[in-house]
Structure 1
Amino acid sequence: MTQEAFQQIAHTIPLQPGIYKYYDKDHTLLYVGKAKSLRKRVSSYFSKSFVGYKTHELVKRIHQIEFTIVDSEQDAFLLENALIKEYKPKYNIELKDDKTYPYIVVKREAFPRIFLTRRKINDGSEYIGPFTSAGKVRELIEFVKQYIPLRSCKLNLSKENIAAGKFKVCLEYHLGNCKGPCEGLQSLEDYQNGIQQMRNILKGNLGSVIAQFKEEMQQYAMGLEFEKAELIRKKIDHLENYQSSSVVVSKHLTNIDVFSIAKDDNKAYVNYLMVQNGT
C-alpha cells in the first residue's frame, strides 16, 4: 500500500486503543500489532521517514488493514498475544531483530520452575509463546505468582534429595510465595495442579482457576482456618475484578458465537466473533 493510498483511509482509523492486522493481496495475515492510539500507530508505518528494511518490506505487501477497538492497553496486549499465538503471522515470528522473542518456559524437572527465556531448546520443557515484549512476559509471570505459589529456586528437588532432608525452606516460603516442596511440605500432585492453573491464567481461562479457589476457600472455612480462607477470598476478588474490567476476557461468556448485522441502504455487513473460554 502506498502512502497516497493510505492517506485516503487514514481518517477512518479510530484513535482508541486496540489491535491492527495487516493482510496481503491474497488475504494472508502478515502482521498483528497493538496500539494506544490505532490511527497514530498505523500512520507511523506510512510516514515519509525511513523506517527500516523490514518495515519497508512489510508495508509494500499491505493490501488490507483491519482493526479491533478495546477499552485499554492491557486488553490490546491480551488480544494481540492471543492472535499472534494462534495465527503466527510471518512478520511477527520470522522477521526478528538481533534478539529472539521471549517465551515462558515450564522447565522439565521435578517441581517445574517457570521463567522467561529467549532460548527455545529441545530439552523436553514446555515453551509458551512466543511473546512480543519481554516486559509483558515479566508482568505475566508476576501476575501469575500473585495467585499461584511456585518455587523460584534452582534446587534439585528429586525424591531422594527431599527424603534425605538436604534442603530448608527459604524466605519465599515464609512470605507465602512457595509451599515448601524442598522440605516435602507440598506434594508433586499439588504443585502440578498449580502449574495447570498457571496455564489457564496465561490462556485467559480464569473461570476454572476461580472455581478451584472457591473450593479451597470452602475447605479452609469448614476446617475453621479462617485466615487462610480470607487470603483465598482476596485472590478470588482480584481475579474477578481483572475479568470484569476486561473486554477480551469475560467471566460471563464461555464458548459462544457472536454475530452482528449492520444495514445501509442496499448493503449489509455481517460481523462474526468466536469466543472460547471467555476469550
Structure 2
Amino acid sequence: MEFRKKIGLLPKKPGVYLFKDSRGNIIYVGKAKSLRSRVSSYFSGKPSDPKTGRLIKKIEDVEYIVVDNEVEALVLEANLIREYSPRYNVNLKDGKRYPYLHITDEPFPRIEVVRRRGRDGMFFGPYTDAGSMRRTLAIIQENFRLRACRYDLPNRAPQRACLNHDIGRCDAPCQGGVTQSEYSERIEEAALLLKGRHRELVKRLTHRMNDAAADRDFELAAKLRDQISAIETIWQKQKIDIDLADRDIHAIAVGSNSSTAVTMQVREGRVIARQEFYIAVSPGTSKKEVMSGYLAQYYAENINPPKEILVSVLPDDADGVSRLVSERRGAKVGLRLPERGEKRKLVQLVERNAELLLSKLVLEKKKVHLPFAVIELEKELRLKKPPRSIEAIDISHLGGTAAVGSLVTFRDGKKYSRGYRRFRIKTAEPGDDYASVYE
C-alpha cells in the first residue's frame, strides 16, 4: 500500500507509531492522542526544526499500536525506545539494566538484588550506584537480621543455621529463631527504610523499644536502641531539604550529540539516591524534548514516585508525564519548574551536577585512543566503524542441568568488569546452548 494512503487509514485513537527507513529499521518511536492526526502532521507544511526535516526524509513506512489512553502510550513509547534505540529518539544510554532490591513474596521473605522488575513482592530502585545499594543492603542485614538463603521456608529447611546466624546477621527463621509475625514486622520496617520513611520507622522502633523495656526484655530494648541510633545517624548525614518533603529533582545538560541527566531523590528532606544517566540525542534535539524523553523512560521503570517533581526545564508533554507519574503513585503528583526560592536552588545544584557530568563525558570522548587490535578487528570483519564495545557469552552446565550463562564485556579493547554478568538459565531445554544464549 502507498505510504501516504496508509497514513490516511490510521485510526483516530491514542497509541504509539513507529517510523521505519528503507531497510525496515525503526528510526523513531512516538506517542499520540490521535495516531492519524499526529502522523499526518509530519507531512503537512514545513518541518518544525532541522532534526524533524532529516527524520522525514528517511521515513519509508509506519507501524502503529493502539492503546486505551495517553498514559499507556507514554509507557509503551518508553519501552519501545529502550528496546529498539531508534536513531532519532532521546534514549538513555545506560548500557545495562540497573539493579533493584526485591523483597520476595514468601512466608519468610528475602531481600535480593535483581536486574529485572517482576510482579511479585516489592521492588525498590533502580539504583545507578551499585556500591551504595549494597551498603544499604548491608545496613538492613545488620539491623533487621533477615535471611539471605533460598530455602522454601517453612516447607523445606536446612538441618542447622548458617554462618549468617553465627555472625548475628540472621535470626534463623529456618530453625524457629523468629516467628512469622515478628519476621513480617521486620520486613515492613526494612521496606520503610528503603522508601526513605525514616521518621515513621524510628517512631515504630521507639514504640517497640519502650514495650520491650516495660516487659523487662532489656536485651531486645538495647538492640532496638542501637538500631534507632544507626538509622538516625544515616538520616542526619543525608539532610539537604528544609521542609522534609518527598520530591525527585531532575536536571539535564544537552550537548551536540549526547546529553546527561542527574536525578536526586529526596525523601523526608533527606537525599536517598543520586542517579546519573547518559542520553543519546540526535543534533538539534531541544531541551524540552530531551527532558520529556528522559522523564517518560525514567518513570516507566521507577515504581516509587514522590508527590512532587522538580525539573530544570519543563518537558514537551508535561501533562502526559504528570498523569503517568500520578498513576504510578496512585495520587496526584505535581510537576514544576521552580523560578525562585529554596526549590530553585536545589534544581540549580542538580543542574550543575548534570553539566559537570556532560563535561566529563566530552573529555572522555576526546581522550579515547583505540588499541591497534580494535582497528585491525574493524578491518578483518569489514565493519563500518571500530567495535568499541564487544560482548561474549558462554553457557556452562552439569550434564545438561544447572545451566548458567556468563557474559564478559570489552570497551575500547580493554576488559570492562562492570559489564560482566552471570545468569541462571531457567526456560531453555537442558543442553540446548542456542536456546540458553537466546534466553
TM-score by length of 1: 0.51
Is the aligned partner of 1:102 residue 2:172?
no
Gaps of 5+ in 2: 1-50, 52-77, 83-89, 247-267, 269-306, 308-338, 344-439
Q: Which residue of 1 aligns with 2:163?
A: 171
Give 1:170-249 correspondences, 5 Å limit.
170-248=162-240
- Find out whether 1:270 has 2:340 as its counterpart: yes
Query: Following TM superposition, by how much is the alpha carbon of 1:182 offset from its aligned partner in structure 2, in angstroms?
Result: 0.8
Confirm or deny: 8 A CA contact 1:116 1:137 kept in the other structure: no
Match of 1:112 in 2: 109
| 1:147–1:235 CA contact under 8 A, matched in 2 | yes
Q: Is the partner of 1:147 in helix, strand or coil? A: helix
Q: Is the CA contact (8 Å cut-off) linking 2:141 and 2:170 kept in structure 1?
A: no
Q: In the alignment, which residue of structure 2 is the partner of 1:277? A: none
Q: Deviations over 1:204-239 (max 9, x none)?
A: 111122122212222332233323322221221222
Pick closer, same or farther for the CA change 1:231–1:219 going to 2, 3 Å. same
The structure having more radius of gyration, on CA atoms, is 2
CA distance in 1, matches of 2:195, 2:150: 26
Say which SS state the counterpart of residue 156 (structure 1) adopts: coil
Counterparts in 2 of 1:103 and 1:172: CA distance versus 1, 3 Å: same
Structure-1 residue corresponding to 2:128:
132
| Deviation, structure 1 residue 254 | 6.7
Deviations, residues 152-185 of structure 1 (Å, cap 9, x unaligned): 1111103x446xxx54322322433222211223
> 1:181 & 1:108 partners in 2: Cα distance?
16
Q: Find the counterpart in structure 2 of residue 63 from structure 1.
A: none
Identity %: 27
Q: Would the aligned equivalents of 2:212 and 2:220 in 1 still touch at CA under 8 Å?
A: yes
1:92-133, CA deviations, whole angstroms, 9 ceiling, x for partnerless residues? x952444211111112223111121113345x2332111212
Q: Could you tell me whether the CA contact under 8 Å between 2:142 and 2:168 is conserved in 1?
A: no
Q: Distance in 1 between matches of 2:209 and 2:104?
A: 29
Structure 2 CA distance for aligned equivalents of residues 210 and 249 of structure 1: 19
The list of structure 1 runs, each at least 4 consecutive aligned residues, that deviate by more than 4 angstroms after superposition, is 252-257
Deviations 1:124-157 (A, max 9, x none): 2332111212222111211222321110111110
> Counterpart of 2:177 in 1: which secondary structure?
coil
1:271 Cα shift? 3.0
Distance of aligned partners of 1:185 and 1:219 in 2 relative to their CA distance in 1, 3 Å threshold: same
The residue identity in structure 1 corresponding to 2:165 is Y
Q: What value does the CA root-mean-square deviation take over the aligned residues?
A: 3.4
Contact map agreement 1:218 1:229 (CA 8 A) in 2: yes
**TM-score normalised according to structure 2 size:** 0.34
Per the alignment, in what secondary structure is the counterpart of residue 123 of structure 2?
A: strand
CA distance in 2, matches of 1:95, 1:187: 44
Aligned-partner Cα distance in 2 for 1:219–1:112 = 25
Alpha carbons 1:149, 1:177 under 8 Å: kept: yes
Q: Which amino acid aligns with 1:132?
A: T
Cα separation, 2, equivalents of 1:131 and 1:198: 17
CA distance in 1, matches of 2:182, 2:91: 38
Structure with greater strand share of residues = 2
